[in-house]
Amino acid sequence: MNILFLCNKSPWPAHEGGPMAMNSLISSLADAGHHVKVLAVVSDKFMVKPEEVPESFRKKTSIEFVYIDLSIKPLDAFINLFTRNSYHVQRFISDAFRDKLIDVLSHNTFDIIQLETLFMTPYVPVIRQHSQGRIVLRSHNIEHLIWKRMSQVSRNPLKRFYLKHLSSTLRRYETRSTSLYDGIAAITRKDAAFFRSLTTTAVVDIPFGINQDDFQVIEKEVEWPGLFHIGSMNWMPNEEGIKWFLDQVWPLVQQNHPEVTITLAGRFMPDWLKTGYKENVVVIGEVESAREFVQAHSIAIVPLLSGSGIRIKIIEAMAQGRTVITTQVGAEGINYSDHHNILIANTPTAFAQAISDCIANKEMTLSIGRAARELIEEHYDNRKIVKRLVVFYQELLQQPVV
């Protein structure tokens, strides 16, 4: 099967959620014998040069890049307040990307053209004009829901107003676009149910998966209790969640466990966090190997208050047998069982108590980690996920083009 991926950012390097989800699926399809090609957006914020991409990945994907200026322009953002258009989507509309896409479609025949995220939707008319392939949206999130949730927890009235505007325009675009695709591959069952409520377009839930061999549980001495968080801090829900945790949860933890520390890792650490924001908080920033960092610690802290889709860092921590403490929002999309393979805590008091319970009962904590690994083995194996997606592709190919 020939598959073209249109990506809103490069799937390599896979250092954060979106690229990790794209990289995992693209690589697994290629490894399963399918021919894949990637056309990806690069920007000043997510810049990748072709020569930086490993030869093995270039050969596997025939990846090409198109630069788009995605910088936020204050005047455009202000004018957008008086329109019903999504500012998020408009930023991805590019003559250069359209021209490159036409060139790729003119010289290749694809069975499937997969749009990685809603933001590639403006190119559907171009695809229809130049290809007979089936168009699939792979939805990483319910995009408008991220901004809706952020508006609900924002304390700044002006910021809350603008976030609500972004959410409403995104929801309008997201809702109207569902009929444009031949199929939708949502990343969680809950997201799939949302799309099914809007459209008769075929919908399937295809979660983020891992290659089990890449995430072996290594039995060795690790830091205890070894509290840690890893995540890119240029994703607003991560920064928002960590600030909530440090302001409202961490003081409660320190009252009972003044000797305990938490280590924060990830790219784009904000200045306010790097300058000793709270006592016993170790900020190390980007790490060379996320897997080795997780293996060296014991308890993953994921304090998310907003966001949508599935949290890849949670899946990876669980795959390595680590106990995860998170909120209902953080665990959304994962087939979890609270207090069996994960710990759910939605308030500062509950979050602090969950940490205390883990510190007090090491065997319970290790047991939750073992159950977490079993969950990932059963439901998030890439080989099983790819087979299911290919069946979905085949069903779409038997249907007439929209």
At 353-378, the pLDDT tens digits run: 999 999 999 999 999 999 999 999 98
Q: What are the residue ranges of helices labelled H in 120-227?
A: 124-130, 143-153, 157-177, 189-196
- Supply the pLDDT for residue 308: 65
- Supply the pLDDT for residue 16: 82
Q: Which two tokens stand for residue 239?
A: 């920064």
- Domain 2-209+381-397 indexed as CATH 3.40.50.2300: no
- Supply the pLDDT for residue 256: 94
- Supply the pLDDT for residue 336: 94
Domain ranges of the chain: 2-209+381-397, 213-379
- Supply the pLDDT for residue 309: 65
pLDDT class of 219 with cuts at 50, 70, 90: low
- Supply the pLDDT for residue 15: 83
* Interval 298-326 mean pLDDT: 90
CA max distance for the chain:
65
Report the 10 Å Cβ neighbour count for 83.
Answer: 11
CATH (residue range 213-379): 3.40.50.2000
Which phi and psi angles does 19 have, rounded to 5°? -60, -35
* Residue 255 in this model has a pLDDT that exceeds 80: yes
Contacts of 136 (CB under 8 A, 6+ apart): 112, 113, 114, 115, 181, 182, 183, 184, 185, 393, 396
* Residue 178 in this model has a pLDDT that exceeds 80: yes
Do the two domains 2-209+381-397 and 213-379 of this chain adopt the same fold?
Answer: yes
- Supply the pLDDT for residue 344: 98
Among 126-140, 252-266, 284-298, name the one with the lowest average pLDDT.
Answer: 284-298
* Interval 155-180 mean pLDDT: 91
pLDDT class of 220 with cuts at 50, 70, 90: low
* Interval 346-351 mean pLDDT: 98
pTM: 0.80
- Supply the pLDDT for residue 147: 81
Among 149-153, 217-221, 224-228, 278-282, name the one with the lowest average pLDDT.
Answer: 217-221
